[in-house]
Amino acid sequence: MSKEKCRKYLPRVVSGNFLNASALSEPDTGSDLASISCRAVLEGDEWVLTGNKYWCTFADGADYLALFARTSAPPSASKRWQGISCFLIEKERGKFPAGMTGSPIPKVGYFGWKTFELALDGVRVPKDCLMGEEGKAFLLMTKGLEGARAHTAARAIGLAQGALEDSITYALERKQFGMPIAEYQAIRFKIATMATEVEAARQLLYFVCSEIDSGRRCDKEASMVKYFASEMAERVTSEAMQIFGGAGYTKLFPVERYWRDARLTKIFEGTSEIQQRIIANNLLGKSELETMISARAFETQVARKGASK
Ligand SMILES: Cc1cc2nc3c(=O)[nH]c(=O)nc-3n(C[C@H](O)[C@H](O)[C@H](O)COP(=O)(O)OP(=O)(O)OC[C@H]3O[C@@H](n4cnc5c(N)ncnc54)[C@H](O)[C@@H]3O)c2cc1C
């Protein structure tokens, strides 16, 4: 992106007046983001974008979309991350740009944001709206995901902390067999375990954030905290629901929301399995089986495209 454009956008981004939505995932591409198929073709001074995006959170309210599309064919299966570019698409809040339509996906939680499927049919954007180098946005994406994974871990920890605090209050107030349930060891140990898990995740998160702030790459550690914090949040919010008894399974207390929202943190910004894969690949190197499977999938994709021409 030109220096002029950076000067235009950055102060607005930093002041929170230019809000983002990220369009990476597609109907057929979630975990394997290097396989995206949304396309951008240069026509004169404009890029023309065509394809489908899925799961674009806050696409309606955002001021711009950071949308990933393929600008050239990948040279091979192992290099299919090449040829992906990122576009900054300016838009009006509450609307989609010309050539784009969107409809909300019915989720089970996280109602603070709507999440959209998007259809792009010849969306035109200026030539200089590329973020980073043409064809190299996958590297931008993986670096950006370190920060995004730390954010998701922080959200998971916040949900678990909320569940812990509400559980303590409830356990001290709720009486059964003539005593507050906080007197029973079964409940006390649950609270002790929940608090320990929340604190362990928080300390790991502080470490990851300091690595990110110091500019060091920490994809393994960012995956570790995203994995650990989101799994922890599901366990802790579920235990909170247990402490609330029947009341936990109602809409009368926030615990059900903590539990529903914590469940999502195991899925977006890369599932728990994908975090485990990143950690394992860092420790053991990439597995041959996985390399073989992805090469086969790539060949099938190329063959299918050839047949449909
Ligand atoms: C509410 C919500 C909001 C979202 N917001 C956004 C957004 O704003 N922008 C955006 O771009 N995306 C967004 N996403 C998409 C999200 O990042 C993907 O859903 C996620 O990465 C998983 O992709 P998928 O759903 O296609 O699952 P798939 O990739 O189809 O995976 C299905 C299952 O297979 C497992 N799996 C896949 N590959 C492997 C492997 N190699 N090894 C082991 N297990 C594997 C997965 O872990 C999972 O359990 C959002 C998703 C949700 C649910």
Same domain, 164 and 178: yes
Rounded to the nearest angstrom, the distance between the alpha carbon of 163 and the centre of ligand 1 is 25
Q: What is the pLDDT of residue 301?
A: 66
Q: What is the pLDDT of residue 8?
A: 87
Q: Cα 20 from chain centroid? A: 13
User: What CATH number has the domain bearing residue 260?
Assistant: 1.20.140.10
Nearest residue (CA) to ligand 1, atom 11:
24
State whether residue 222 is helix, strand or coil.
helix
Q: What is the pLDDT of residue 298?
A: 65
Rounded to the nearest angstrom, the distance between the alpha carbon of 2 and the centre of ligand 1 is 33
Domain boundary among 110, 135, 160: 135
Same domain, 145 and 108: no
> For residues 178 and 189, what is the distance between their CA atoms, to the nearest angstrom?
20
Pairing of strands 64-70, 84-90: antiparallel
Same domain, 111 and 161: no
State whether residue 246 is helix, strand or coil.
helix
Same domain, 239 and 145: yes
* Residue 302 belongs to a domain: no
Residue 269 catalytic? Answer: yes
Same domain, 107 and 239: no
Domain boundary among 99, 119, 135: 135
* Residue 296 belongs to a domain: no
- From 146, 234, 256, 269, active-site residue: 269
Q: What is the pLDDT of residue 309?
A: 52
User: What CATH number has the domain bearing residue 97?
Assistant: 2.40.110.10
Atom of ligand 1 nearest to the CA of 274: 47
Atom of ligand 1 nearest to the CA of 273: 47
Q: What is the pLDDT of residue 308?
A: 55
Same domain, 8 and 102: yes
Nearest residue (CA) to ligand 1, atom 37:
31
Please report, in tens digits, the pLDDT of each residue of the chain (309 residues total): 777 888 888 999 999 999 999 999 999 999 999 999 999 999 999 999 999 999 999 999 999 999 999 999 988 888 888 999 999 999 999 999 999 999 999 999 999 999 999 999 999 999 999 999 999 999 888 888 899 999 999 999 999 999 999 999 999 999 999 999 999 999 999 999 999 999 999 999 999 999 999 999 899 999 999 999 999 999 999 999 999 999 999 999 999 999 999 999 999 999 999 999 999 999 999 877 776 766 666 666 666 666 655
> For residues 190 and 199, what is the distance between their CA atoms, to the nearest angstrom?
14
Contact between 233 and 162 under an 8 Å Cβ cutoff? The reply is no
Atom of ligand 1 nearest to the CA of 23: 11
Give me the helix-helix angle, 185-213 and 219-243, nearest 10°. 160
Same domain, 120 and 88: yes
Nearest residue (CA) to ligand 1, atom 24:
30
Q: How many domains is the chain built from?
A: 2
Q: What is the pLDDT of residue 302?
A: 65
* Residue 155 belongs to a domain: yes
Same domain, 166 and 201: yes
Same domain, 192 and 227: yes
Which residues, including other chains, have CB under 8 Å from residue 70's CB and lie 6 or more apart? 36, 37, 38, 39, 40, 83, 84, 85
Rounded to the nearest angstrom, the distance between the alpha carbon of 56 and the centre of ligand 1 is 12
* Residue 293 belongs to a domain: no
Same domain, 9 and 130: yes
Same domain, 104 and 182: no
Contact between 176 and 252 under an 8 Å Cβ cutoff? The reply is no
Q: What is the largest CA-CA distance in the chain?
A: 79
Rounded to the nearest angstrom, the distance between the alpha carbon of 29 and the centre of ligand 1 is 8
* Per-position DSSP letters for 143-204, written without gaps between them: HHHHHHHHHHHHHHHHHHHHHHHHHHHHHHH-EETTEEGGGSHHHHHHHHHHHHHHHHHHHH
Atom of ligand 1 nearest to the CA of 107: 1
Nearest residue (CA) to ligand 1, atom 25:
30
Domain holding 277, by residue range, is 140-284
Q: What is the pLDDT of residue 271?
A: 98
